Amino acid sequence: MIRLVLLASLCATSLCAQSLTDSLRDRIAARVGALPGASAGVYYRDLGSGETLAWNADSSFHAASTMKVPVMIEYFRGIDDGRFSSGDRVTLANRFASIVDGSPYALDAGDDSDSALYQRVGQEVTVRELVKRMITRSSNLATNAVIELVGAQRAHATAHALGATTMMVRRGVEDNLAFRAGLNNTTSARDLGALFEAIAMGRAASDSSTRAMLDILERQEFNDGIPAGLPPGTRVAHKTGWITGITHDAALVRPAGRPPFVLVVLTKGIPDETVAQRLIADIARLVWAQASAAHHDR
């Protein structure tokens, strides 16, 4: 009788949790497979139980704007070690040097999700505001200005130190010479998951900088991906990314009354951004159901 009770207890915990994870993996595969030509990478980790699902999580994707996360982290680490101060200001310029040959290039306001910032070119702007716009509005102009300050190589090194061991942070955005040369920023779902876990666990920066980063990430204005698949009011600190045929979302989800979880969904091969966003939201919905079931079983 004791043996039977013990076996039942095991089934109610680790064995049944594994069964739930396997079922979730199958449902994610079926949902992605319903879109001809689509590819996806998914990484999920419950920060309370440690339960993890990795589905194509090590596949490399063009990072698009998700590379702005390690740039933000490097800025706040610079605040922590005194390289920068929260009141630093820079004169905003729209002229950058290609990593290929140093030739100048400028960004097109029409291709930027934060076109209003271009009206302030030539004016002084606080770096903190640029960092916020880089995340919440995914401003390309703000991103390149911040990268000039923190350095792409330092952001790359920090990402690797925090566990994003295959991520490549090479350059700012819209460096077309570099793009044609194949010198792109890349990531995997697992890499982005490592960065969000480092933020959540306080390993990415100091306590005050961690709170500031989470506040910025929670103010994200583009919420048609992961947040759209979660119950209204769920706290989500996340960063989106998109270019033609590529749509991503990476998040720390903080449900009320239980531990947070990390979820990253990277997609490519989906020409219609709305279709890709719906896929990401559906995967978030599946993960939420899994996380909720696992929590109630504990």
How far are the Cα atoms of 97, 132, 135, 188, 246 from residue 118, in angstroms, in the given order? 18, 15, 16, 31, 25
Please count the structural domains in the chain: 1
Residue 5 inside a domain? The answer is no
pLDDT of residue 11: 42
pLDDT of residue 292: 80
pLDDT of residue 235: 97
Judge contact between 163 and 80, C-beta under 8 A: no
Residue 227 inside a domain? The answer is yes
Residue 4 inside a domain? The answer is no
Query: How many Å apart are CA 90 and CA 101, to the nearest integer?
Result: 25
Confidence of residue 4 (pLDDT cuts 50, 70, 90): very low
With a pLDDT cut of 90, the percent of the chain lying above it is 88
| Token digits of residue 161 | 């130190």
pLDDT of residue 10: 41
Confidence of residue 20 (pLDDT cuts 50, 70, 90): low
Partners of residue 239 on adjacent β-strands: 250
Residue 10 inside a domain? The answer is no
Residue 277 inside a domain? The answer is yes
Q: What is the pLDDT of residues 25-56, one digit of tens each?
A: 999 999 999 999 999 999 999 999 999 999 99
3-state secondary structure of 231: coil
Query: How many Å apart are CA 241 and CA 70, to the nearest integer?
Result: 13
Residue with tokens 């903080």: 254
Query: How many Å apart are CA 147 and CA 173, to the nearest integer?
Result: 10
How far are the Cα atoms of 21, 30, 45, 82, 293 from residue 51, in angstroms, in the given order? 8, 21, 6, 37, 12
What CATH number does residue 71 fall under?
3.40.710.10
Q: What is the pLDDT of residues 97-152, one digit of tens each?
A: 999 999 999 999 999 999 999 999 999 999 999 999 999 999 999 999 999 999 99
Confidence of residue 19 (pLDDT cuts 50, 70, 90): low
Confidence of residue 290 (pLDDT cuts 50, 70, 90): confident
Find all residues with CB under 8 Å of 54, minimum gap 6, and list them: 42, 43, 44, 189, 190
pLDDT of residue 48: 92
Partners of residue 112 on adjacent β-strands: none
Residue 6 inside a domain? The answer is no
Residue 219 inside a domain? The answer is yes
pLDDT of residue 293: 72
Is a pLDDT exceeding 80 seen at residue 255? Answer: yes
Residue-range definition of the domain harbouring residue 137: 19-297
More confident position, 20 or 112: 112
- Looking at 11-15, 226-230, 283-287, which range is the least confident one? 11-15
Is a pLDDT exceeding 80 seen at residue 210? Answer: yes
pLDDT of residue 298: 55
Find all residues with CB under 8 Å of 61, minimum gap 6, and list them: 41, 186, 187, 188, 189, 246, 248, 266, 268
Residue 12 inside a domain? The answer is no
Task: Give 56-124 as a 3 state SS string.
Answer: CCCCCEECHHHHHHHHHHHHHHHHHHCCCCCCCEEECCCCEECCCCCCEECCCHHHCCCHHHHHHCCCE
Judge contact between 209 and 80, C-beta under 8 A: yes
